[in-house]
Each structure stands twice: as C-alpha cells, then as structure tokens.
Amino acid sequence: MDSMSHSKNEEVETKEMDIRSMSSSRRYVHSARYLHKVGVPPKQNLFQEFKATVRETFFADDPLRPFKDQPRSRKFVLATQAIFPILEWGRSYSWRKFRGDLISGLTIASLCIPQDIGYAKLAYLDPQYGLYSSFVPPLIYAFMGSSRDIAIGPVAVVSLLLGTMLSDELDPVQNKPEYLRLAFTATFFAGVTQATLGFLRLGFLIEFLSHAAIVGFMGGAAVTIALQQLKGLLGIKNFTKDTDIISVMKSVWSNVEHGWNWQTIVIGVSFLSFLLFAKYIGKRNKKFFWVPAIAPLISVVLSTFFVFITHAEKQGVVIVKHIEKGINPSSVNQIYFTGEYLVKGMRIGVIAGMIALTEAAAIGRTFAAMKDYQIDGNKEMVALGTMNIVGSMTSCYIATGSFSRSAVNFMAGCETAVSNIVMSCVVFLTLEFITPLFKYTPNAILAAIIISAVAGLLDFEAAILIWKIDKFDFLACMGAFLGTVFSSVEIGLLIAVIISFAKILLQVTRPRTAILGKLPGTTVYRNIQQYPEATKVPGILIVRVDSAIYFSNSSYVRERILRWLMDEEEQVKAECQSTIQFLIIEMSPVTDIDTSGIHALEELHSSLQKKNIQLILANPGPVVIEKLHASNFANLIGDDKIFLTVADAVSSCSPKPVQEQAQLSSRRDYA
C-alpha cells in the first residue's frame, strides 16, 4: 500500500511539474510576442540631415537661442552685447566690484611690468615692446572677452616660441628692422587665425592637443626658458643661440673661467632666492598671495637702486640701459602684406597663435569652473584674435592669458575684466613717466624674475597623475618634454601634436571589445573581466564593441570578433560544453557606422553562416539602425535577429539545450 501511494504521489508531482513547465513555456512564448523591437527613426531628407549635422558640429551651444521671438530693437541690443559683453555685465557694475578690480589690477600690474621687460628679451625684442603688449591688448579684451579672471599680456612660452622661430628667419641684431616687422606680421596672422577660428566656430580644433602633451610641452618650455636665462644670471656675454640643454650647458661651462661675472651672479642669485622664498610664503598661506605678486617689482626697485649707487655696470654688470618712453606708436605700415616674408610671418603666426589660444582656453576654463560661470569659447577666440590684430598695428607682439598673472588676479579678488583695464592704465603711466627709471635695472634681475615665473609651469603632480591614469598619455607628456628640452621648442611642439594624433588614431583604429556575461539574479550583461561573477550563457557568445565602426577599424572589429569566437570555441571544446550557436553583438556603444563597417558586418555574417552560427544584434542606435535598413543588412539577417536588449536576444534566441537545462534546474528547485 505504501509503495502504491508513494508512486501515485510521484505521478501527481510529475504531472504538476509538467503543468508548471508547460505554463512557464506558454508564458515565455506569450512574453516573447511582446518583446520591444528596435525602432527605426523617421527618415530625414539630405538637407535635413546635413542641417542637423552642421548645427550639432558648429552650433552645439545654440548661440541664437536668446534672439528667438525678440523684436528687432532687442535683437540689435543682444547682438551688440554678444560682441561686447562689457555692455551686459557693465549695467550691474558697482563700487564694491570696482574696489576688488582696483586692488587686483594694481597687484597684477606690479607683477606684469618687470615680467614684460624680461619676456620681450625672450622674443629678442626691445623691453618697451613687452610693455606695449600689456597696454593695448588688455583694453581690447576687457571689452570683448567673457572671462572675469584671465589677465592678458605677453607670456614666457609664446615669447620663447616666437623668438626662436623668428630668429631662425632673421638675425635680431643685424637685421633688427626686418626682424621687428616680421614679429608684427606674425602677431597679425596669429590674431587672424584666432579670430577666424572663433567666427567659423572651429574652437574644437585646439582640443586635438591633449592635456598630457600640453603638460609635457609647458614643462619642457619652462626648463628651456630657465636655461636661456643663465646668460643673464651668470653675466655671460658670448652665449649660444641654440635652445637645447646640451648646447646651453656647453656654452655655460665653456665660459666658466673668463665669461662669468661674480657681481652679476651675486645680484641674480640673491634676488632669485628672495623671489622663490616669496613664492613659498604665498603657497603656504593664501592670505599672503600679494607677497609673490609684488616681489618682482620690489626686486627691480632694490636691484636698480643698488646698481645706481654702486655703479656696478662699470664692473661688468649688464643693465637695461634704455627703454623707449611714450605709448605705443603705430605699426600698420610695418606689417608684411607682400614679399618673401609674408608666408614666413603667416606660418609663424599660425603656430604661435594656436599655442597662445590653447593656453588662454585652459586658463579661462579653469577659473570659470572655480567661480561657477560659463565662458563662450568661440567669443574668447574672437576677442583674443581681435586684440592681437589691433596689437600688431600698435607695436605689440602676441599676447594671451598668463597663468601666473591670472592666478594672482583671481586670488586678489577680481570681479570683472575691469582689472585688466586698471593694469593697462598702470602700464600707460609707466610708459609715459617711469621708463627712464629702469635705465640701471640689471639683466640679472630680469633673468631671476623669469626663472621664478616659469618654475610654476613644471607641474610634477600632473605628470604623476597622468602616469597613474594612462601610460600612453604619460608617453605623450614625456615625448613633448624631452623633445623640447633636448631639441627645440618647435620639435617638442611637433612631438606633442604627433603623439596626440597617434593616440586618436590608435583609439579609432583599435577600439576596445569585450565578452559579456550575465550577472547572477539579474538580466544585466556586463564585461566578464570587470565582473568575474558574470557567467557566460551556454551556446551563446556575447560581444560588445565600444566604438563607432568606420573604414579605419571595420576590418579590425570583424577580425577581433572572429578571434573571440575562435577562442570561445576552443574553450567550449576543451570543457565539453554545448557548441556556440549564436553570436550576439551588443551595439549600444556603436554611435555610428559607415559603408565599410556594414561591409565588415556582411563578411562577418557570411563567415558565421559557414559555421552554422546565427548573428544577432542588440540595441543598435538610431543612426546605426537607419543605416542597417538603408543598406538592406537588416533584411539580410532578418528583423527578428535585431533586439532591444541583450536579455531579449538571449531569451529569444537561446538554443534548445539551454531551455531544457533551465527547465530541469527549475524542476530540481521545485523538488
């Protein structure tokens, strides 16, 4: 009796399990009918597609939004304010803001005056041209720029780059008038380049120089600039014109017996120590930010007074001697618009202008983020370009945003670009009344000021962080640094650009791919390397492509997927598991695909057919699905092989052994 009753119970349990299995399979079929299919976006005509592409590429910030539904008078006001932002924020300007701008303007003026004289020497120009470049350009920028914190004037890196490239074409001593004209020509075309990029909204072009390459280039330029200042710091008269470290050190040591001047060394080293100590105080306590800001001016005053009362110039201490008095003379008729130097000026101007633009963009974004406001990159380019075009016509050379001055401007509490106007006014007074007092200023103090200023460009923390984050980025950083230090500024810049483009090409031509597995207890599929607990689905290989599929990488993507498949088949065979019957490609990261990409998918589909493996696509984006239908590839593999999610694809395309295995496991769980 017990055995009969036990057998009856088993039959009842078996029937119940079969009923449950049938109902679950019915629910599966029922739910499969209601799987969401991948939607195909409405087809756009060629003009609409082109318009959308151009708008997203050049007008992503929608600059015409404020003009919408506005009367003509209001549109005129908005257009004027767009060109001259000062007309917008000037309406709410107050005495409180002016007080902050006045203090910061006076502070950066005390810093810029001695720096400008030194930076002009880096460009092989007379000292007054550095001061000229801190008078007119800041005024123009104050009216047209959108950054509240950036301080405008000559900078060390651009001055060195300009001087190096100009001196390769003309000797700054023997051909002084032509050299000066070429400098103004390069400044003009630097401004034209910057303004053109802004007008055509091509600011994204400067993004091709990676942050790592900029860090390396700036660091290398800082070392090169510091090495160049050994001439003034040691009192050497016969010094090499080469900028690489080997040539400079040879020149330094070859003059050690008779070329060094001990009085110059005492002055230079003493005040360099003072400047570095002042910087240390400013870094230790932010309240004393003004100490490193006024230290250069104090150094100039004290050293000039010391040389004047001791007549150290008679002991071999080289002094500035003469700085032209008066404000900027016109230089319109000195710009080369024809002749052999026109092309040379254009080439130098474009390169120097791009570097100046990159530096200004980095500074503007940094301080805008710190104060939580937005700057318009294209307006900034127009403002910088306009100020350099006007500057080239008023005896200025290339000006841009300065890291050191902008930092001091920020810490001094500047409120608006009026701080640049205040600085410009102080420079105007200096040019009109004070320049004769710089006659006895020793070159050693200018060298010390430049060395202390460029020391901040050596960003070791950024280099260490780059090493931790991305080794290829670190290679770009070190390549730019070593190229600048051991060869020249141009070579370092060229290496930086080449490595930046190489990284882009490498990422485009060799996109990442990954095998996905199912996270336990979910319908989520993730990279099995990132999530070791994720399990592969028997009989199915799921691959994700993490890039658009273009002509440059389509062959690689196809071959890489086939290699994944080959490796998986070998592993399945070794472990005696069910063979691969489906290949699912997760396409959500694939933002676009071109003709070569579709051709690669067709070849992949053909290869899989020979292996009796079905190709399945999961979640292609709107652009991709539209092109798949336009190319008839969707019909080739079948609309029923394109799913919204990987989970849908797996549940709909699982091979029979997998379904049977799932049913058996559910029976075991029930038992």
Per mean pLDDT, which range of 26-40, 217-231, 300-314, 566-580 is the poorest? 26-40
The pLDDT confidence band at residue 61, using thresholds 50, 70 and 90, is: low
pLDDT at 25 over 50: no
540-545 sheet: strands from edge to edge: 525-527, 513-518, 540-545, 582-586, 614-618, 642-643
Please tell me the predicted confidence (pLDDT) of residue 186: 97
Per mean pLDDT, which range of 124-128, 413-417, 503-507 is the poorest? 503-507
Please tell me the predicted confidence (pLDDT) of residue 353: 94
Please give, one letter per residue, the 3-state secondary structure of 385-442. HHHHHHHHCCCCCCCEECHHHHHHHHHCCCCCCHHHHHHHHHHHHHHHHHHHHHCCCE
pLDDT at 659 over 70: no
Please tell me the predicted confidence (pLDDT) of residue 555: 94
Please tell me the predicted confidence (pLDDT) of residue 192: 97
Residue, of 161 and 576, whose pLDDT is higher: 161
d(CA 481, CA 411): 29
pLDDT digits (tens, 9 = 90+) for 98-116: 999 999 999 999 999 999 9
Residue with tokens 């026109």: 342
Q: Answer for the pair 234, 258: CB distance below 8 angstroms, yes or no.
A: no
Please tell me the predicted confidence (pLDDT) of residue 316: 87
Residue, of 76 and 13, whose pLDDT is higher: 76
Q: Which of 444, 117, 449, 121 lies closest to 262, judged by CA?
A: 444
Please tell me the predicted confidence (pLDDT) of residue 654: 60
C-alpha distances (whole Å) from 659 to each of 16, 150, 355, 643, 656 are 19, 66, 62, 19, 5
Residues 6+ apart with CB under 8 A from 494: 483
Kindly state the average pLDDT of the residues 43-64.
Answer: 71
C-alpha distances (whole Å) from 333 to each of 131, 176, 181, 393, 517 are 21, 16, 9, 8, 71
Q: Which 3 state secondary structure label does DSSP give 329?
A: coil
C-alpha torsion angle, residues 169, 172, 175, 177 (rounded to 10): 110
Please tell me the predicted confidence (pLDDT) of residue 65: 78
pLDDT at 446 over 80: yes
d(CA 325, CA 503): 50
Summary mean pLDDT of the chain: 87
pLDDT at 309 over 50: yes
What the chain holds in terms of domains, given with CATH numbers, is 34-43+510-669 (3.30.750.24), 94-505 (no CATH)
Per mean pLDDT, which range of 448-452, 495-499, 605-609, 614-618 is the poorest? 495-499
d(CA 537, CA 523): 12
Please tell me the predicted confidence (pLDDT) of residue 206: 73
pLDDT at 381 over 50: yes
d(CA 475, CA 216): 9
pLDDT at 665 over 60: no
Please tell me the predicted confidence (pLDDT) of residue 653: 73
pLDDT at 357 over 70: yes
Percent helix, percent strand, percent coil in the chain, to nearest 5: 70, 5, 25
Residue, of 141 and 9, whose pLDDT is higher: 141
Query: What percentage of residues in the chain have a pLDDT greater than 70?
Result: 91
Q: Which amino acid is at 661?
A: Q
Please tell me the predicted confidence (pLDDT) of residue 34: 56
Residue, of 265 and 58, whose pLDDT is higher: 265
Q: Answer for the pair 78, 70: CB distance below 8 angstroms, yes or no.
A: yes
DSSP-assigned letter for residue 456: G
Please tell me the predicted confidence (pLDDT) of residue 668: 45
C-alpha neighbours within 13 Å on the C-beta side of residue 176: 5
pLDDT digits (tens, 9 = 90+) for 407-433: 889 888 899 999 999 999 999 999 999
C-alpha neighbours within 13 Å on the C-beta side of residue 620: 28
Q: Answer for the pair 266, 442: CB distance below 8 angstroms, yes or no.
A: no
The pLDDT confidence band at residue 30, using thresholds 50, 70 and 90, is: very low
Residue, of 241 and 630, whose pLDDT is higher: 630
Angle, alpha carbons 577-582-583 (nearest 5°): 110
pLDDT digits (tens, 9 = 90+) for 463-490: 999 999 998 889 889 999 999 999 888 8
Per mean pLDDT, which range of 59-68, 112-121, 182-191, 276-285 is the poorest? 59-68
Kindly state the average pLDDT of the residues 332-337.
Answer: 95
Please tell me the predicted confidence (pLDDT) of residue 332: 95
Q: Which 3 state secondary structure label does DSSP give 488?
A: coil
Highest mean pLDDT among 36-50, 53-67, 224-238: 224-238
pLDDT at 593 over 70: yes
